[in-house]
Structure 1
């Protein structure tokens, strides 16, 4: 049987616990009755038997009758001293029906509204017997206890409902609301327990998913926008090639637009690869200095074509845990961006240094920089400063975004600031801790 409500499951669990507790307490009570209470009453019965026997043997039948009368008055029952056959020593009546079957020597019985006690002397010559009515107990005599138990169950159930079940339902409702498309939903909780941890974990997950989904939606929108212009020009160039006498000029225009689309698709594939976070799947120790040297060597030809020079300052000896290819792409995109916007015959400065447990890579150009209000969007996909786009043509606008995602895949950070003149981009990558021999 599967219960679909946590309320019902909790209530049934409490009732089961109550039932098991009742059985356990009953077993404990029976054990205490056998080991403690019954032996005490047996010793008390033995004392009464010895007292009655003493009265009978030393003072006769009348003294025994008086003693038994005092017992009857005190305990509200009938008390007897019997011989070994069960004959009443006061009246001579046969009361053997009060005695247990051999070999029992002690009996304490409750039956049909009466209690019966029988206790034999150690030498077997006498029996002490007592009979009396049981007090009548009514159901309403136990009502306060019933209400106490019911009230306790209700309070515990209310605490469980308020403290556990309702918060879990709120978490489930928030998750369902998030699943239906409300990406802004969050769980407000300050609980330090597992439910609070669940809520905070959901908030972290929701924050990441919202950022990822919004980023992907923006990316798709930007891709459609970026492809619209070259595709429109390409379509116009094809029509022009069919009607123009100078087909080579039209083909050159088609080639430029095809190359632009190919470059854009290549960058989109690259940013998708970075999003896959391969650094976490096939991590290796990567020497940062060697990666930067290789990137500088690859970009030197491009810099020399613009009559620029790359100046490298190295003060770093360490390794990062991650992907060599991702780190190379991060540094290369930043460096190529610096080369693209550097003026002719200028110097691009690349420095490497260690700051505590991090590698710091700084790339600085001497270009126009960027407006202060654009720094928050500088690493967004397809974002390009308008002046740079108009003057230099710009790239696809994915270079710095790819660099940012590659750095984040290594649990690092990337930032930019104006250097007056130029732009300074700072990359922070955690290093592998050094092991002292």
Structure 2
């Protein structure tokens, strides 16, 4: 089902013309309303009238998360405060939180793009959808909530917490869809098993999962254990929230809502634009946002853009799954390591739960990597020989993928702490030591 065929199936030439007009309007808007961008453009000897088409976007300055923090709280707002009807914010665990303001039009656009995503998954007015992202300053809960309501389906604002009650509601209210993090979906599956409920007692058929990277193996795990079809949902609060891109029923890349968010891929080191198909850092420009529009925002997410029109009929460009973040990449003994690589290996082996933790340390001036992973109950044993064989099997597979050796620590079932929000996968003790020197 396509929610807005006029926009989602627009011919590419027509779409680029629309993007160009919206970019021209946006640049003039921020130049006159945001001192930060006006100064940036003046330093580059750039005026709004120099932007004549979407191809001119490469002339514009980049924006980073640090820019948002340096202009905390309202320095990047373009709309007057009287027009801002909602504010969301990041956690601010590594500095000032990033504050994002929305006008009524922004909220309408947000509901629109989320409705597009839900429709792409096959959600209709007949569905009952549980929104199990956190509500509050985090954009996930309210973003998905208003998308479900805008589409006309029934929304259950479950949020996180009290998971056993949530499972009963999923069963008793015949909830057919759920939006949450992939890790919380697995926690739900564990709770279903613990409560002795068969997945066939549930009516779940659609899952919209995002807010953290996940792998194809993790998708298969969630689908098998909850009996639904799992779709990727992508967004970030600085740009809008969930709904920036989403998979369709083809599940071959995520469609970007290009009439509102213009994507680029750049080399994160040289900042040079990269062509379709080449992996790099994802950059977004908010073409229609009023509250806090951003020019060429560097997401730090590593992906690529897929050429060609999708069989579903949508003409918008698609992005491949996020491999990781350029700022989350671990450099261990000179080797680039992404947590998603470790996860792919773990989830490819039937002996392990999709629960793991990476602990990076430095011993005698040498980086070390420990991979803690839960063994499934059916495979956990007091037989030392069998556990040593399992440990060696995982160690060998990890070394073939990562090109470095890792110390594997096999954990008992349910011993790694669960998260009802975004999961913490990495503890880097090297940073902790450096901060205290």
Normalised TM-score (structure 2)? 0.22
Larger RCO (alpha carbons 8 Å, 6+ apart): 2
Q: Comparing both structures, which one devotes a greater share of its residues to strand? A: 2
In terms of Rg, which structure is larger?
Answer: 1
- Higher helix residue share: 1
What TM-score does the superposition give when structure 1 sets the normalisation length?
0.22
